[in-house]
Amino acid sequence: MLHSFWYEEARKQFASVAHADPSCAMAQWGLAMTEWRPFWDGMPDDRRKAGIAEIDNAAALHPKTDRELRYIAALRGYLHSDPGQNIAAVSTYADVMGDLHRAYPSDVEALAFYGLGLSAAASLDPKDPIAADRKALAVLMPGFEAHPDHPGFAHYIIHTCDNPQLAREALPAAEKYAAIAPASAHALHMPGHIFARLGMWQEDIAANLDSVNASELAAKEHLDGVAHEMHAYEFLLYAYLQDGDDARARKIYEDTNPLIQHLAVIPGIQNDGMYMYTSYMQVEFPSIYHLERHEWKDIIAIAEPPHPLVSSRYFLLWAQAIAAGHLRDPGAADRAVASAQSIYKAVEAEGSPISAEIHATFLTMQAWQNYAHHRDAEALAQLSASADEQDRVGQAEVDIPAREMYADMLRAEGHLAKALAEYKTDLKLSPNRFNGLAGAAEAAADAGQRDEARRLYGQLLQVTNGGRTSQRPEITRASAYLHQPKNSAG
């Protein structure tokens, strides 16, 4: 359970052991480990205080073996570290677990937690995250090959490779992980991260439908951790939009508030690690839906939910800056960018899904602000820089690629050859995205590259199952183009 981040239920198991054997130091270590959630919200003050008390209890029980002492010392060092030096503290934890692994090379758990530490440190690395990810993979991949049924290795590989550059390397782990931990909603969902990165929309949809079902079953059995359901719906909405099933996508976003109301009355839900992100979903779901469908005025009209996370406000402002740029509305763009700038540092510190690419997103907002003011050359330069930055740090899980937006702007300004080249680069990093394929096809068609346009339009229809569930104009244009005689298309 701990390796699959089912922290709430893992905590119950460790508490049961601690109750049965009050002298068990490792039960107290386990309780403290459930407080640390490195890929989610990290370590807020309340859980840090609880974790410190638990790990100090573990130390006070005077563990009998050197190995137990090392496990406890590694976590104790992290929990007692300065919260303002989190990156260094996580790196130190990884180093100490590495020493433990080398001292006890047959301890599979030590190897798994060493890999977790390296992957967690990589997720915080602002300088060269891909190089840091590869350092983690150098530990995790051999662990997965030697222990393919261990939940930790498969899970941590997926997290480590959750970026366009490395996603394909995690496909074997993604295809295996759900079978390792079939009762865990999070484990069933996680392969969807890799399937989404690779444009495998049907596999992504299947994984997240299984995750939703697992969350609902957990709720019926009065288990904790059911708020994972929101995260699965987040991926489902995005995948449905890519395969053109807009009706199912819209139903998800329209059902967001009823789902949150349903979750709110579940006992203990406030302790669920995912529940804190409800305000993020309340702005992300409608924003992504309307961004993908180019419904710019609807994005401007999205209201901020009550008591939002600062990252929720920032995400909405990002979406509204993009919409304002497309509408050439300088007032709306200026308001969005000014508000985002005022909370930039707070978002960066919050550790939300958008924090890792905070600089790239702000460049994107400034680019669309310039575009709204008809400063098109400046807008193109900033959007190009944003795309380069996003390529370096990675793209968020549910996102509009900056390079796709750059290609869109180039196409709108008539730079068709350059736009097509950028779309092709984008589609290597974000394959099978509806708007990436449609934009590339239209750029090729407008540039008179008929064979390329037919290939791309054909791929769009293949990804969307012939466009049978989509009413978007891009599907109509694709079908019409492909039905023209080949020598007259254009």
Partner residues linked to 42 by β-bridges = 37
- Grouped pLDDT means (10 residues each) for the chain, 490 residues: 90 96 97 91 83 97 95 98 91 98 98 97 82 96 98 97 94 96 93 97 97 87 74 96 96 87 72 73 94 98 90 94 99 98 81 70 97 98 96 85 98 98 97 98 98 98 93 95 75
**Secondary structure (3-state) at 61:** coil
| Cα torsion angle, 237, 239, 241, 245, sign | negative
Partner residues linked to 37 by β-bridges = 42
Give the list of residues 6+ apart from residue 222 with CB closer than 8 angstroms, or none.
267
Tell me what pLDDT residue 487 has.
66
**Secondary structure (3-state) at 79:** helix
Rounded to 5 degrees, what are φ and ψ at 42? Answer: 70, -110
For residues 161 and 175, is the Cβ–Cβ distance under 8 A?
no
For residues 184 and 4, is the Cβ–Cβ distance under 8 A?
yes
Tell me what pLDDT residue 278 has.
83
Tell me what pLDDT residue 351 has.
58
Tell me what pLDDT residue 350 has.
64
For residues 463 and 437, is the Cβ–Cβ distance under 8 A?
yes
What element of type H or E holds 426?
A: helix 416-429
| Cα torsion angle, 321, 323, 325, 331, sign | negative
Distance, CA of 321 to CA of 365 (rounded, Å): 5
Give the ranges where 265-415 is alpha helix by DSSP (H).
278-292, 296-300, 310-327, 330-350, 358-372, 376-393, 402-412
For residues 182 and 167, is the Cβ–Cβ distance under 8 A?
no
Distance, CA of 227 to CA of 289 (rounded, Å): 21
Residue 444: which of 462, 427, 464, 465 has the closest Cα? 427
pLDDT tens for 88-102 read 999 999 999 999 999
Tell me what pLDDT residue 486 has.
72
Distance, CA of 254 to CA of 265 (rounded, Å): 20
Distance, CA of 80 to CA of 392 (rounded, Å): 32
Distance, CA of 467 to CA of 355 (rounded, Å): 35
Give the list of residues 6+ apart from residue 446 with CB closer than 8 angstroms, or none.
411, 416
For residues 172 and 148, is the Cβ–Cβ distance under 8 A?
no
For residues 312 and 283, is the Cβ–Cβ distance under 8 A?
yes
pLDDT tens for 316-325 read 999 999 999 9
